[in-house]
Chains A and B, each alone.
Chain A
Amino acid sequence: MTTSILPLTRRALVDSWRGLLGWTLGMAAVVLLYVPLYSSFSGEDAGFEDVIKSLPEGLASTLGFQDLSSGAGYVQATAYGLMGFALIVIAATLWSSAAIAGDEESGSLELTLAHGISRSQVMLERSLAVIVRLVWLAAVVFILVMLLNEPSGVALEPANILAGTLALLGLGILSGSFGLAVGAITGRRAYASAAAAGIALFGYVLNSVANQSADVDWLHNFSPYYWAFGNTPLSDGADWGSLGLIYGISALVLVIGGVVFNRRDVSA
């Protein structure tokens, strides 16, 4: 049996530290580029509100730019809701599709499974390796926003920064769990990537459509993106029910993936 703690998770993390460094820099850049610019956008004389007002109504709401004048609204619209979301989803898609399906397609999963390790443990440890990396990216966001909070003038409550970051992380983990599970079920990297990116895109598009008019407002209910950010965690704090829903679905999807992975043939 395994003679040490989480050998596959440690291996995955050691193997991927270079890539993680790149993602860390990218995520840091998003926060460092957007948040300090708040002071130049905010206030009566900054004129940015006028720019937003001049945009067609649909476009502004599609991009989530309805409330750029408040610090929370600005950080939400830029660092969290747009670029941060995109980066964490792309990272989750790449990592989760590589974790099982990529390894199976390259042919190296077979040798791992031939050792004294169960499929469930492979699923658990590889999932953990993806989640740990996503938590790291979220931590980078949290720490940098905390540091820039006062100097940039966005003036967020630290607890709300945590709430918003947990929502962002939740979306990353949701994508990651879809990628991991579909990869574990099908063994195909393309399907895993499609599932991971697809669930994120689905949530984002549904949210944007629902923003367009009150007639389609009910569509918000089906959008994970709305669950995460619809209740404006950066200004109003955590909505634990929504977070529980996102994290709960992620866990459920991972369990389903693990169960099917346990039963199927692994291809050479």
Chain B
Amino acid sequence: MNYAIHTTALTKRFGSHTALDGMDLAVETGSVFGMIGPNGAGKTTTMRLLLDIIRPTSGRATVLGRSPLEGGAYLRTDIGYLPGELLLEGRVTGRSLLKHYAEISGHVPRGRIDELAERLGLDLTRHVRKLSKGNKQKLGLVQAFMHEPKLLVLDEPTSGLDPLMQQEFLSMVREAQHNGQTVFLSSHMLSEIQSAADQVAVLRNGKIVTVGDVASLRASAVRRVVIDFTDVSADHIRTTLVALPQLDDLTVVDGDIVQVTGTVEGHIDALVKAIAPFHVVDLRVEEQDLESSVINLYANEAKK
């Protein structure tokens, strides 16, 4: 199997704090791989290790077949990187900043910068420091994508983008994949990357908790449900729903509208069938960010 990114027991300590704890990760060439987890889980640390901005305490990483340190500047021309905290400064226009980064990147095809800027609705004539957070993020995306690198490493790429631009970003990711590029991206929300990523690794405390495809992770995820009923007594609802093994944290609030909240693990089918006889005013299924849902899942398994 051909891997764009491969790490074995990759570990990074900052003083006594272990940011990354023996991570084994394999990202297939040509895939879109997502990494999710709460802040401080080690997502950014992983990416910075891949770019040779920081060096591993132990273990090793291979990026496009080479170690980041040995591959050096030459390797990095094949990578497009978007930092998680993008700080762009200066009294220069977006175009001039991108020209500068193009000089120290791989080859940028003529017209590529304008094409990307147009797609994202980014005005390249404005001064960088006057740009909003979202526009700076767009500038960061353009500099990551412009040289059509073999590997894109994108730390929280959708943060600051409005939903329309998130869609545009996802289509850029799909195109990159279509061109044979590998995309490695992170998010703290599964929902932001679920439609892009083939595979997702969940990180927590510097370790990979689980790796899987999005569908199986969703299926095992814990979701919060809120159901409003009318024309039924709270007690009746309670006795019906308490019997469901998939439903936890059940609360029932009485009133004109009886509101039921709870969390569902796994498929929602049993719940839907159980409430079918009643008059349902509203049914909301809210996905918790995968961080908490997966963590719940593992916490529950630990208890069992």
Contact = CB atoms under 8 A, between A and B. Distances in A.
Interface in A1-49: 1-4, 7-8, 11, 14-15, 18
Given A107-B87, A108-B88, A116 B73 contact: yes
Given A1-B77, A265-B55, A268-B44, A116 B104 contact: yes
Interface residues of A, number: 27
A118 interface: yes
- Categorize the interface residue count of chain B: 20 to 34
Contacts of A3: 102-103, 107
B85 A113 contact: no
A114 B83 contact: yes
B92 A111 contact: no
Contacts of B55: 263, 265
Interface string B117-152: 000000000000000000000001001000000000
Given A121-B73, A265-B53, A115 B87 contact: no
Contacts of B102: 3
Contact of B104 (A2, A18, A263): A2
A114 B87 contact: no
B77 A106 contact: no
B48 A116 contact: no
B180 interface: no
Interface string A86-125: 0000000000000000000011101111111110010000
A116 B87 CA distance: 19
Interface string B28-71: 00000000000000001000100111110000000000000000
A266 interface: yes
B53 A1 contact: no
A13 B107 CA distance: 24
A24 to B, nearest CB: 18
Contacts of A111: 81, 83, 86-87, 101, 140, 143
Nearest to B57: A265
Contacts of A266: 53-54
B74 A1 contact: yes
B92 A115 contact: no
B90 to A, nearest CB: 6
B262 interface: no
Contacts of A18: 91
Contacts of B74: 1, 116
Interface string B88-101: 11111000000011
B223 interface: no
B57 to A, nearest CB: 10
Contacts of A115: 73, 76-77, 81, 101, 104-105
Contacts of A268: 44, 48, 83-85
Interface of B: 44, 48, 51-55, 72-74, 76-77, 79, 81, 83-92, 100-107, 140, 143
23 contacts: A7-B100, A8-B104, A11-B100, A15-B91, A106-B87, A107-B83, A108-B89, A110-B83, A111-B143, A113-B51, A113-B52, A114-B79, A114-B81, A115-B73, A115-B77, A115-B81, A116-B104, A117-B76, A118-B73, A265-B55, A266-B53, A266-B54, A268-B84
Given A18-B91, A268-B44, 13 more contacts: A1-B77, A14-B92, A15-B92, A108-B88, A111-B87, A114-B51, A114-B76, A115-B105, A116-B76, A116-B77, A121-B73, A265-B53, A268-B48
